[in-house]
């Protein structure tokens, strides 16, 4: 049975790609939500009902809950019945997780606690991070405990997010959710809170298993994409169309190979497997190798383009797409963005025309180069000697194939087969 404590007000710490949608759906479910972010510009935008990034369906929900006074944002951590910590966990050193943002959030929460609150860690974290967060809070507050038998206990839990960028508003409501408490009571209390907005199954476990489950899901996908990427290299040398090969093999009832591409991007699949490797380096050989295979794919694409560009004095390359995947504006950890930059560096007297329908300006490292331009699709196709397809954005699917006729085409996604 879950502890009998209120869960009416919720402080969401970190209003990024996951924290903000979580805050919005909690407010929509009737909670009074106070969002916290260190960035004043994000706080101001959110209080005006505006979303500082692109995510289908979020703006409507956000504008509604802000107008009703159910959600507001501020820079200081408030008093609340429950807290959700959704802050970044970047790398430090040799792919270890930097827990300093979690520690800072914990130190912000500690002075606001009275006892009886739930503190949920949502950030993707290495095993042990939830216990670490609890220790940071309890070391600042010796009057509180995580021992549920004693008065003034605080409940600590991990509920990793598993939503897919681009489908966040749907998946946040529908996906099953893993909830791991540092005690069973904490997991139950966390379930009560998440049941308010999540119709998926809520699966209870301990915090360490929940942490590993999230990392395992993304490592599974990474290893399987690495298999597809390795196949693409083998197939290239063998003169075989890798997409046809995979399509045929996938007809087997127990085979389901993923798709090769220019590399693996985003802030999750290219990052999370390292947290497993860094926790257990000696026995994570397959996971580490898969990371290496996926990370080496952009270099293979670069070499292919340079090899074909040789024959031109002043080659013009149209790089179609620099987002980390189709139909989003997220350029973080994007292999395509890095490929465009490397080509600009390495093409002697060449020009790179970047076509990215989801952004209005180039990221700074591309913008500052004199031989890189943000171009519209039509003019890039007209001017290019080499058309390099890097992201399978919808507008690229509809390109008139006649326009590619005279060009050298390098299609890393198999879009125009």
Euclidean distance between CA atoms 99 and 137, whole angstroms = 14
| Shortest-Cβ-distance residue relative to ligand SAJ | 268
CA triple 215-53-165, angle to 5 deg: 35
Q: Shortest approach of ligand SAJ to residue 389 CB, angstroms?
A: 12
Among 11, 165, 273, 298, binds ligand SAJ (CB under 6 A): 165
Binding segment for ligand SAJ among 39-47, 187-195, 266-274, 396-404 (CB under 6 A)?
A: 266-274
In whole angstroms, the minimum distance from the beta carbon of 255 to ligand SAJ comes to 14
**C-alpha distance across the termini of the chain, in Å:** 56
Taking the C-alpha atoms of residue 230 and residue 236, their distance in angstroms, rounded to an integer, is 10
Q: Which two tokens stand for residue 252?
A: 């087997």
Q: Which 193-212 residues touch ligand SAJ, going by CB under 6 A?
A: none
Q: Which of 31, 214, 297, 325 is catalytic?
A: 214
CB of 54 to ligand SAJ, least distance (A): 14
Token readout for 319 is 């790089």
User: Other C-beta atoms within 10 Å of 113: how many?
Assistant: 20
Catalytic residue among 31, 70, 198, 268: 268
Torsions phi, psi of 222, nearest 5? Answer: -65, -45
Residue 258 found at the interface with ligand SAJ (CB under 6 A)? yes
358 binds ligand SAJ (CB under 6 A): no
214 is catalytic: yes
The answer to whether residue 321 forms part of the interface with ligand SAJ (CB under 6 A) is no
* Exposed / middle / buried, residue 54 (Cβ in 10 Å: 0-12, 13-18, 19+): middle
Q: Choose which of 62, 84, 268, 389 interacts with ligand SAJ (CB under 6 A).
A: 268
Q: Report the helix count and the strand count for the chain, using DSSP H and E.
A: 15, 15
User: Catalytic residue at 39?
Assistant: no
Instruction: For residue 266, state whether it binds ligand SAJ (rule: CB under 6 A).
Output: yes
175-210 burial: b if 16+ Cβ within 10 Å, else e: bebbbbbbbebbbbbbbebbeebbeeebebbbbbeb
Between 29 and 269, whose beta carbon lies closer to ligand SAJ? 269
- Residue 309 CB, nearest approach to ligand SAJ (Å): 24
Applying CB under 6 A, the site for ligand SAJ has a residue count of 20
For ligand SAJ, the binding residues (CB under 6 A) are 124, 161-165, 217-218, 221, 225, 258-259, 261, 264-266, 268-269, 324-325
What amino acid positions are annotated as catalytic residues? 214, 268
């Amino acid at each position: 049975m879950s502890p009998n404590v209120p869960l009416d007000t919720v402080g969401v710490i970190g209003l990024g790609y996951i924290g903000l949608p979580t805050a919005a759906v909690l407010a929509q479910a009737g909670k009074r939500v106070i969002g916290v972010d260190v960035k004043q510009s994000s706080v101001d935008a959110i209080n005006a009902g505006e979303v500082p990034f692109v995510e289908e369906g979020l703006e409507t929900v956000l504008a509604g809950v802000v107008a009703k006074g159910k959600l507001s944002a501020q820079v200081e951590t408030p008093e609340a019945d429950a807290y959700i910590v959704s802050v970044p966990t970047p790398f430090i050193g040799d792919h270890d997780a930097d827990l300093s943002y979690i520690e800072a959030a914990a130190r912000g929460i500690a002075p606001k606690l009275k006892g009886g609150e739930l503190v949920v860690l949502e950030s993707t974290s290495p095993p042990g991070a939830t216990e670490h967060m609890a220790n940071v809070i309890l070391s600042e507050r010796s009057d509180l405990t995580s021992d549920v038998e004693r008065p003034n206990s605080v409940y600590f839990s991990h509920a990793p997010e598993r939503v897919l960028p681009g489908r966040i508003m749907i998946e946040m409501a529908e996906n099953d959710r893993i909830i791991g408490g540092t005690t069973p009571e904490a997991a139950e209390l966390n379930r009560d809170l998440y049941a308010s907005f999540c119709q998926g199954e809520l699966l209870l476990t301990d915090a360490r298993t929940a942490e590993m489950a999230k990392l395992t899901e993304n490592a599974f996908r990474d290893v399987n994409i690495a298999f597809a990427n390795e196949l693409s290299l083998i197939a290239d040398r063998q003169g075989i169309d890798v997409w046809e090969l995979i399509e045929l093999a996938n007809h087997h009832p127990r085979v389901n190979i993923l798709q090769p591409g220019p590399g693996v991007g985003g802030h999750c699949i290219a990052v999370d497997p390292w947290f497993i490797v860094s926790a257990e380096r000696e026995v994570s050989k397959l996971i580490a190798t898969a990371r290496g295979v996926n990370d080496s794919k952009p270099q293979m694409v670069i070499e292919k383009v340079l090899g074909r560009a040789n024959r031109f004095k002043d080659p013009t390359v149209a790089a179609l797409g620099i987002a980390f995947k189709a139909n989003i504006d997220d350029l973080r950890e994007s292999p395509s963005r890095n490929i465009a930059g490397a080509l600009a560096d390495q093409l002697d007297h060449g020009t790179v025309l970047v076509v990215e329908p989801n952004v209005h300006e180039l990221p700074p490292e591309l913008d500052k180069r004199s031989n890189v331009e943000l171009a519209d699709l039509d003019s890039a196709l007209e001017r290019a000697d080499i058309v390099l397809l890097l992201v399978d954005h919808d507008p690229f699917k509809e390109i008139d194939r006649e326009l590619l006729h005279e060009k050298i085409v390098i299609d890393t996604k198999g879009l125009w087969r």
